[in-house]
Structure 1
């Protein structure tokens, strides 16, 4: 038995060989890994991202031909080579018609949405105006009822005492009646603890 020598190394793996190495099939994983390694080699380099696809419109399609020569159907005397030409032209025309119809549908839906939005805005404005008039009417009625006072006056607040509590009653001039404090019970539910 002989020892493994340089002659047993495949020629492509021998570092002395000038032969190119065999190319292996590229998998999607190795392709992405390769792209990432390329990007990391020079981080200062700007990235070139592909442009986003623009939506197809009728304007982006080529215009239909002005004059159609050799008009024939899919089977009316057409040779085997003409069938594919017919199919391609029919597909282009159907695509153009479909795009035109979708644009019309989009315009109609936009128009109906705009009408609905305007109607909702009008209703909201009417309700707001109605509430504003009602508030002003209420405010004016309160001002007249109070003896023609200023409209900026605040309505007097009644007692802030809790129901069932005892509050002191003062006479109209703000002082205590005859130096005494009268007690009045505010109506409400009173709980008594029974022993």
Structure 2
């Protein structure tokens, strides 16, 4: 037996052959891999992304024709080609009407949402104003009761008897009022 030579190479795989290689059906995986390889061949090249589709509106559609030359129904004396023309024009008109109706519905929804939002904001503002007036009233009443009491130590009032200490960390002051210690973190240095 002799060594394999150029005669043993299939004709399509032989680099000297002018015959094109067989084209196979491209799978989605192979197509995606090919696109990625194309992108990585020249990384400095800008990537072109497709434009995102915008929502269609009645303004984006062409206006309906002002003059309809041949007005007829789907079957009244129509030939075989006229039926499709009629169906296409009817479909365009229904699409235009549907888009116009959806725009009207969106506007109504926006109006009702705005009304609800304004109503909620008005209620919130009223409640805030009511609470503010209540705080101001309490502040004024407290200020009139004891002008000298502002300098004294803060007292805790509750349902317990004044001479009883009900808090775990409370310490009685000079006047019998409970003053609370502020909890904190104690750090011990082990140097």
After TM superposition, the runs of 4+ consecutive aligned structure 1 residues lying more than 3 A away are 1-10, 152-156, 164-170
| Cα shift at 1:158 | 2.4
Structure 1: give runs of 5+ residues left out of the alignment: 171-183, 187-195
Flag the 1:159–1:59 CA change in 2: closer, same or farther, 3 A.
closer
Any idea what the Cα deviations from partners look like across 1:107-153, whole Å, max 9, x if unmatched?
1001100110011001100110011111111111112222xx38x94
Structure 2 match to 1:163: 166
Root-mean-square deviation over aligned CA pairs: 3.0
- Cα separation, 2, equivalents of 1:34 and 1:26: 10
TM-score (norm 1): 0.75
Flag the 1:139–1:156 CA change in 2: closer, same or farther, 3 A.
farther
Structure 1 match to 2:26: 26
Any idea what the Cα deviations from partners look like across 1:35-60, whole Å, max 9, x if unmatched?
00011111111111011011111111
- Cα separation, 1, equivalents of 2:98 and 2:76: 26
Any idea what the Cα deviations from partners look like across 1:165-189, whole Å, max 9, x if unmatched?
995766xxxxxxxxxxxxx8x9xxx
Structure 2 match to 1:43: 43
- Cα separation, 1, equivalents of 2:156 and 2:51: 72
Structure 1 match to 2:90: 90
Flag the 1:4–1:116 CA change in 2: closer, same or farther, 3 A.
same
Flag the 1:31–1:87 CA change in 2: closer, same or farther, 3 A.
same
**1:15 maps onto 2:18 in alignment:** no
Matched length: 169
SS of the equivalent of 2:40 reads helix
SS of the equivalent of 2:52 reads coil
Flag the 1:142–1:71 CA change in 2: closer, same or farther, 3 A.
same
Structure 2: give runs of 5+ residues left out of the alignment: 158-163, 179-191
Flag the 1:45–1:77 CA change in 2: closer, same or farther, 3 A.
same
| Cα shift at 1:157 | 2.4
Flag the 1:168–1:115 CA change in 2: closer, same or farther, 3 A.
closer
| Cα shift at 1:16 | 1.5
